[in-house]
Structure 1
Amino acid sequence: MRQSGSRLLAESVPADNGSVLALDLTVNGTVATGTWSERTATDGYYRGAVYHGAIQLVIDPMGKAMSGKWIGFDRQFNVNSDVWELRWVEKANSMNTIRGYHGKA
């Protein structure tokens, strides 16, 4: 996750199946609001579909975690929502650190 002013941008390392998640959030006080998108694995159940939606998270006072809800559509175009929690693990600024998380999504 990278921060530039009030904007937070994140992209996951690819999961074992190749799916990738991206977040684009704007922080206002202790609330982060924005969008998410997931590019699914090309050879998996969803066959490379891209899903997207909205997300709103409350940032904990120590700035080490965020929790809230996402909303978005599924394969049959039904609108779903659920809880989403993000937690700071460690500063990942080296390729060795990033490789250590590869496939753990």
Structure 2
Amino acid sequence: MHRIFGTPFAAVYPLYLAKVERKGRTKAELDAVVEWLTGFDDAALARQIESEATFEQFFAAAELNPAVTRITGVVCGVRVEEIEDPLMRRIRYLDKLVDELARGKALDKVLRV
């Protein structure tokens, strides 16, 4: 089991937020990305953060967007579509979306609309 699986999502969320805000993006845009991927609404996302759910618990409660297969590319030197472990793939999908947002990609492109 990878260490990140037991890490609380609430511990990483501020890092995601700092990353996108440094690049001129907003918390609302970050939340839109997380909610698009997971199916959470604002209240459900807040509950996940407040409860300090681990990444394993966070993604167990999520209903992934059916368009998730459109997320392709490299994160941390690994192609996300080639990651075999389903939980790690979901975490890397989130990393990829946050990276795209931080790089200035239009929100509708990040969300594969």
- Relative to the length of structure 2, the TM-score reads 0.26
Query: Quick one: higher RCO (CA 8 Å, sep 6+), 1 or 2?
Result: 2
Determine which structure has the larger strand proportion and give its number: 1
More helix by share: 2
> Which of the two has higher C-alpha Rg?
1
Give the TM-score normalised by the residue count of structure 1: 0.27
